[in-house]
Amino acid sequence: MITEIIFTIAGSILIIIGFIGCVAPVLPGPVLSFAALILISIPTGFGLFKPVLLIILGAAAVISQLLDNVFPVISSKRAGAGRAGIWGSIVGMIAGMIFLPPLGVIIGAFLGALAGEMLFNRENDKPLKAALGVFTGTLLGVIVKLTVSGIITAFFIKALLY
C-alpha cells in the first residue's frame, strides 16, 4: 500500500514535469510523462496497462521528442533561416517561459528567432520570413509533445481513478 502511494506521488510529479518539458527545450516532456506510467505500473506488476499500449505510448513519446528536434530544422530551412534563428527561438522560448508565462513561450520563440536572424544572420534579407519558419516548426513540435503527454496523462489519471 505505501509502495503504491510513493510510486503514485512520484508518477504525479513526473506528469507535471513532463508537461513543463513539453515547452521547456531542456526536458524530454513526453518521455518523462511516459516514465510516470511505468512508475505507477511497477507496484501492480505491470497489470494496469496492456503491454501493447505501453509499447505504443513509449514509441509515441520517443518519436514526438525526436520530431520536436526535426520540425524547427525543416521549417527553418524552408524559410531560409540559419542556426541563429533556431538558437534565438530556443533562448526566446526559455526567456518567455520565465518572464511571461504561459504565452511568453510562444511570443519568446518568435521574437528570439527574429532577433537571432537580425543580429547574427545579417546576409538574410528576409529575417521575418525566417523567424516565422523557425517559430512554426518550434510551435508544431510543442503541440505534438503536448498532445502525446496529454494522452499519456489521460491514461495515468484513468489508472488512478479505477
The DSSP-derived string for 110-130 is: HHHHHHHHHHH-TT-S-HHHH
The DSSP-derived string for 32-55 is: HHHHHHHHHHGGGTS-SS-HHHHH
* Distance spanning both ends of the chain, measured CA to CA: 15
The DSSP-derived string for 47-77 is: -SS-HHHHHHHHHHHHHHHHHHHHHHHHHHH
Question: What is the reported pLDDT for 125?
Answer: 78
Question: What is the reported pLDDT for 107?
Answer: 84
Cα–Cα distance, 21 to 41 (Å, whole number): 22
Question: What is the reported pLDDT for 101?
Answer: 75
Domain boundaries, the chain: 2-161
Tell me the per-residue pLDDT of 51-108, one tens digit each, with 9 for 90 and over.
999 999 999 999 999 998 888 878 877 888 788 888 888 888 889 888 887 778 778 8
Mean pLDDT of the region 7-16: 96
Tell me the per-residue pLDDT of 21-49, one tens digit each, with 9 for 90 and over.
998 777 899 999 999 999 999 998 888 99
Query: Could you tell me which residues come within 8 angstroms of residue 142 by beta carbon, excluding any fewer than 6 positions away?
Result: 22, 23, 68, 105
